[in-house]
């Protein structure tokens, strides 16, 4: 059946929009940031940052999920994000990435903290020893992970070797989406 002046095609688009697209416009979701309720580390504390740079060193964050309606059901997909400081060695230079090994619900995942300003890497040897005043050490990383709808849980980060990482209580956050 062919309609004049494309009316049939127009009607087809209205039906598709009504059945498939418009329900998604009625759906509402909200993004949330969950902060740790407690933190502990056996890393070396320097100005409130705990450096993980030796085997056996760890940082541990505890979170309490408030019993929310996660977008993906009882166990939703969230992002575990870490902001820290990275360097290549003790009293090291700026511009380096680092890694941490995370233990979540009995499983291990590695997260890479990418440096904000990798252009500063290896700058120090060309100009001699300098005080960077902390510039170029900030690094960030996120991983996707299933998170529980409610309850208390702990995430532990350990030093896997390689470049050094410093963290503190507000370094780790969990980002999740709820359906309204």
Give me the CATH number covering residue 62.
2.60.120.1200
- Residue 99 inside a domain? The answer is yes
18 within some domain: no
Question: pTM here?
Answer: 0.77
Please report where in the chains the tokens 């049939």 appear, as a residue. 8
Residue 113 covered by a domain: yes
Domain that holds residue 99: 28-179
Domain count, the chain: 1
Question: In this structure, is residue 94 part of a structural domain?
Answer: yes
Q: Residue 138 and residue 159: Cα distance in Å, rounded?
A: 17
Q: Is residue 3 part of a domain?
A: no
By the 8 A CB rule, do 150 and 75 touch? no
Closest of 172, 177, 175 to residue 50, by C-alpha: 172
pLDDT in 10s for each residue of the chain, 180 residues: 444 455 565 555 555 545 544 444 455 778 889 999 999 999 999 999 999 999 999 999 999 988 777 665 545 778 999 999 999 888 888 889 999 999 988 899 999 999 988 777 766 555 555 666 778 899 999 998 888 878 899 999 999 999 999 999 999 999 888 776
Evaluate whether 43 touches 52 at the Cβ level (below 8 Å): yes
């Amino acid at each position: 059946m062919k309609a004049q002046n494309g009316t049939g095609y127009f009607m087809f688009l209205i039906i598709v929009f009504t059945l498939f697209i418009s329900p998604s416009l009625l759906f509402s979701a909200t993004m949330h940031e969950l902060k740790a309720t407690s933190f502990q580390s056996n890393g070396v504390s320097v100005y409130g940052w705990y450096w993980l740079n030796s085997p056996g060193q760890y940082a541990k964050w505890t979170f309490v999920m408030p019993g929310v309606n996660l977008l993906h059901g009882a166990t939703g997909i969230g992002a575990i994000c870490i902001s820290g400081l990275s360097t290549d060695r003790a009293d090291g230079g700026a511009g380096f990435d680092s890694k941490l090994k995370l233990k979540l619900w009995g499983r291990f995942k590695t997260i890479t903290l990418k440096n904000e300003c990798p252009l500063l890497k290896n700058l120090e040897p060309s100009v001699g020893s300098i005080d960077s005043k902390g510039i170029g050490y900030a690094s960030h990383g996120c991983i996707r992970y299933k998170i529980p709808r409610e309850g208390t849980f702990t995430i532990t980060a350990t030093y896997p070797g390689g470049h050094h990482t410093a963290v503190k209580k507000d370094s780790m956050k969990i980002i999740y989406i709820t359906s309204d």
